Amino acid sequence: MKKVLITGGAGFIGSNLALKLISKGYEVRVLDNLSKQIHGNNPNKSYTYNLIKDKVELIVGDVSKKDSWDKALTDDIDIVYHLAAETGTGQSMYEVSKYINANIGGTGILLDKIVNEKLNIKKVIVASSRAIYGEGKYRCDSCGIVYPLSRKDDDMKKGDFEVKCPKCGREVTMELTDEESLSHPTSVYGYTKKVQEELSILVGKSVNVPVCAFRFQNVYGPGQSLKNPYTGILSIFSTQIKNNNDINIFEDGKESRDFVYIDDVTDALLLAIDNDKSNYEVFNVGSNEKTDVITIAKTLKEKYKSNVNINITGNYRVGDIKDNQADLKKIHKLLGYSPKVDFKTGISNFVDWVESQEVEEDNYSKSIDEMKEKGLYK
């Protein structure tokens, strides 16, 4: 029986992955700090913690601390899923050292152990993010394929939220972003994930330990923390609606994301374990569709039968991108991945789950106030 270590295994993706691994006969150990931001003050009331409670070997610890890794990563571990990370794009812009210490520092300790200790690891699978692409891949009628930089503050102040060609300044059309696309993140979070995946593959090659990285799009579904006001737009909006608070949408509401359902994400993660075609590769994990924010807000309002107002504010956050959708040809060709859950089905499943949960306190305004104070919300 293979033994798997999942860092962040009590979180949204990790807990669902753990259950699938257990169902396939794997023995699972979890390293997780049971963050209050995700699980609240009492982990015993956390949905995802309870998914794995008494089903895995749990080590409560911090990936940025070597002693936690020493307890978790022992010579009986065959596979490492390194999912633990700080994940809020906006929050990363003002809690810089926290994100670097967790995402890069934690990965550094993992890699140091792999190089310097006699372990028996057969594979390391890293959770990366589409955030490494920044705005992603676009087409300009004059310049062809381009990779725009961050949108200009002066344009956005005037309500112009469109992406412009970095060469000629014209508006451009979004293309599907493939794994060969230029990587230039627009947030601290994005940079930490870029460094994390590149270091992991580099070191893995040097010591012949296969590594692969999955660049997740916007993951959602039952179990996504309703307590965390910093990440997860469906959860944030749902908590606002359940508290009868209005929804205030950034920019013009037309910004879009590739929302990929949790079951599709965990299916993709499982595909890498025994497939040598994944070795030292990076893969997009997405849904084959994109959905704009105003559609999400209206759909959630309708499904919850709510009377809250939806306000298009024109405000914006430094570090946010306009649109994205992943090109999935590579992961389909090499690993056989195809998403199974469309957004219409997925959001219905998510809402049904939310309706079964206690209403959490809405702390979203706190996260916005923090960004305003730092000059990162305009």
Q: What is the pLDDT along the chain (378 residues), one digit of tens a residue?
A: 799 999 999 999 999 999 999 999 999 999 999 999 999 999 999 999 999 999 999 999 999 999 999 999 999 999 999 999 999 899 999 999 999 999 999 999 999 999 999 999 999 999 999 999 999 999 999 999 999 989 999 999 999 999 999 999 999 999 999 999 999 999 999 999 999 999 999 999 999 999 999 999 999 999 999 999 998 999 999 999 999 999 999 999 999 999 999 999 999 999 999 999 999 999 999 999 999 999 999 999 999 999 999 999 999 999 899 999 999 999 999 999 999 999 999 999 999 999 999 999 999 999 999 999 989 999
SS3 of 1, please?
coil
Are 81 and 108 part of one and the same domain? Answer: yes
Q: What is the pTM of this model?
A: 0.96
Are 157 and 252 part of one and the same domain? Answer: no
Q: Residue length, the chain?
A: 378
Identify the domain boundary among 175, 202, 221.
175
Domain count, the chain: 2
Q: Which domain holds residue 16?
A: 3-137+176-373
Dihedral class, residue 27 (left if φ above 0, else alpha if ψ from -120 to 50, else beta): beta
- Give domain status of residue 269, yes or no: yes
Are 76 and 94 part of one and the same domain? Answer: yes
Are 358 and 237 part of one and the same domain? Answer: yes
SS3 of 139, please?
strand
Distance of alpha carbon 147 from alpha carbon 192, whole angstroms: 20
Are 171 and 270 part of one and the same domain? Answer: no
Q: Is 191 one of the catalytic residues?
A: no
- What is the residue-wise DSSP string for 38-50? HH-S-GGG-HHHH
- Confirm if 98 and 328 have CB atoms less than 8 A apart: no
Distance of alpha carbon 315 from alpha carbon 89, whole angstroms: 16
SS3 of 213, please?
strand
- Give domain status of residue 224, yes or no: yes
Which of 47, 189, 230, 261 is an active site residue?
A: 189
- Give domain status of residue 378, yes or no: no
Distance of alpha carbon 193 from alpha carbon 69, whole angstroms: 19
∠ CA 376-309-161, nearest 5°, is 40
Are 155 and 45 part of one and the same domain? Answer: no
Tell how strand 3-7 and strand 27-32 pair up: parallel
